[in-house]
Amino acid sequence: MLLAEVVAASTAVTAARGRTAKAGLIAEALRRADAGELPAVTAWLSGEPLQRRLGVGWRSLASLTGGAATDSTLTVATVDATFEELAGTAGPGSSGRREMLLRDVLARASTEEQRFLVRLITGELRQGALEGVVLEAVATASGVPAADVRRAFMLSGSLPATAATALAGGAEALAAVRLQVGRPVRPMLASPGSSLDAALTALGSEVTVEFKLDGARIQVHRDGDDVRVWTRTLREVTGGVPELVERVRALPCRTVVLDGETLALDDDGRPRAFQDTMSRFGSTTTGEEPADAGGLLSPFFFDLLHLDGRDLLDEPLHVRLDALAALLADDAHAPLRTPGVRRPDADQAAQVLEDALDGGHEGVVVKDLTAPYAAGRRGKAWQKVKPVHTLDLVVLGAEWGYGRRAGKLSNIHLGARDPDGGEPVMVGKTFKGMTDELLDWQTRTFPGHAREETPWGVLLEPGLVVEIAVDGAQRSPRYPGGVALRFARVLRYRPDKTPAEADTLEAVRALLAGAP
């Protein structure tokens, strides 16, 4: 398969309107790829190299483009082999070796292919083909039910591998994909609930109400003495959290997969700033480590996906919680279980919410006790309830401030995720809630993400996610989505989330007065 065919498909996907049209175009490209090419083609049409990190930046590429080939002769296999070599190049002389590899492949690329490769390598390939769209394409190309494809993807954690399995072996091969200790599962997600009463009404009496901790999501796997820890984006952080490893290694089991949160606590047992927790994972809001970033992390687990050879994903939540309670029963001196109450009445549920807020946490999560673990899905079985509405939105741009904020990038433009895979849709602006430290960070950081610089500020590539508190939303013809945020203010940036995990335009519209 020629690279030019992938570039043509990418261009068509970018121009297509709507999720179904994009998925159909990707499906056509997947059918044309042979078995060896399919993983790379799938990865490229979802916007990233198969090897993820190639050790190449904009500066290296800028000096190597130009002098394009007149004919399209590059194949997918050739480019993927070059990427593989780039990813494995390290040590003395590696910079020169990378430059030679890049110069060779770019010299053989047409102008359109050069543009595609540069955007692919630097993470700037915006086709509107999010994971969900590519999964639909895999289902269409293979003739397998979308639910089977989604489940295999969530258990394998690899979109290219799922595509290869689906097109080679169909539904039978996908059904053979199982949870594997040591390979992270994509986490089940909670939907925003409008209120505690509404969540209880929607889910009924068979629920548990648990603290919504102000920490970082973790998934921990143990196989004998080998313990590994991943974040919600499936980035491994084992080496940076030895205290979590030791706590799980001490549990009375041989194999286990735990889902939960971890956070740094102060001397009174209250959560420290979110960035203090995130600093342990090598990322903070400001890019600078707090002076006491070495504080210990405390784990709190709320789900159990596997225990001593038994997979529990498809068991109802009450079964998983019983097994979790038994596993953690001996840790009363330093509880590992997320606080909560099963089958509470209205007063008990309200007390859990009050206790969570009094403890400095975000709110509660109401969970259906009869639901299986739907990995990677943001369904209605889990609903998070906070005292104020919060949204995770994409930063689309920022304006230069004036007065006290003169010379600083201040008023940020906010976008909600387009569920059809298009560019984020602008829903408002805000400069509220920003500290001087955050303004300085934005001014330093945003130019590196700039899509375009203007006299009034910068337009950004959609890469940064910020958590915003709002009082609600209102209808507005000013923005393309027909809705605008009310009294938005910045809570924090979310380095643990990608734009693909931002809240959708539908989530913003759900805040409209009178919305169902």
Q: Which residues are annotated as a binding site for ATP?
A: 210, 217, 232, 261, 302, 378, 384
Q: What is the phi/psi pair of residue 288, to 5°?
A: -120, 135
* Residue 22 annotated in active site: no
Tell me the three state secondary structure of residue 264: strand
CA 473 to chain centre: 24
Strand partners, 265: 271
The annotated binding site is made up of 210, 217, 232, 261, 302, 378, 384
Which residue in the list 22, 212, 408, 429 is annotated as catalytic? 212
How far apart are alpha carbons 513 and 170 in whole angstroms?
46
Containing 385, the helix (H) or strand (E) segment is strand 378-385
Q: Is-contact 470 389, C-beta < 8 A?
A: yes
DSSP-assigned states of every residue in 146-176 = HHHHHHHHHHH--HHHHHHHHHHHHHHHHHT
Beta strands 378-385 and 189-192 are parallel
Q: Is-contact 470 391, C-beta < 8 A?
A: yes
How far apart are alpha carbons 399 and 458 in whole angstroms?
7
Strands (E), 267-307: 297-307
Q: Is-contact 165 49, C-beta < 8 A?
A: no
Tell me the three state secondary structure of residue 81: helix
The torsion region of residue 55 among left (phi > 0), alpha (psi -120 to 50) and beta comes to left
Count CB atoms within 10 A of the CB of residue 241. Answer: 21
The secondary structure of 171-232, three-state, reads: HHHHHCCCCCCCCCCCCCEEEECCCHHHHHHHHCCCEEEEEECCCEEEEEEEECCEEEEEEC
Q: Is-contact 424 135, C-beta < 8 A?
A: no
Count CB atoms within 10 A of the CB of residue 327. Answer: 20
How far apart are alpha carbons 48 and 480 in whole angstroms?
28
Q: Is-contact 337 300, C-beta < 8 A?
A: yes
How far apart are alpha carbons 138 and 136 in whole angstroms?
5
How far apart are alpha carbons 303 and 321 in whole angstroms?
6
The angle that helices 111-121 and 94-107 make with each other, rounded to 10 degrees, is 140
Strands (E), 69-158: none
How far apart are alpha carbons 252 and 294 in whole angstroms?
28
Strand partners, 411: 399
Which residues are designated catalytic?
212
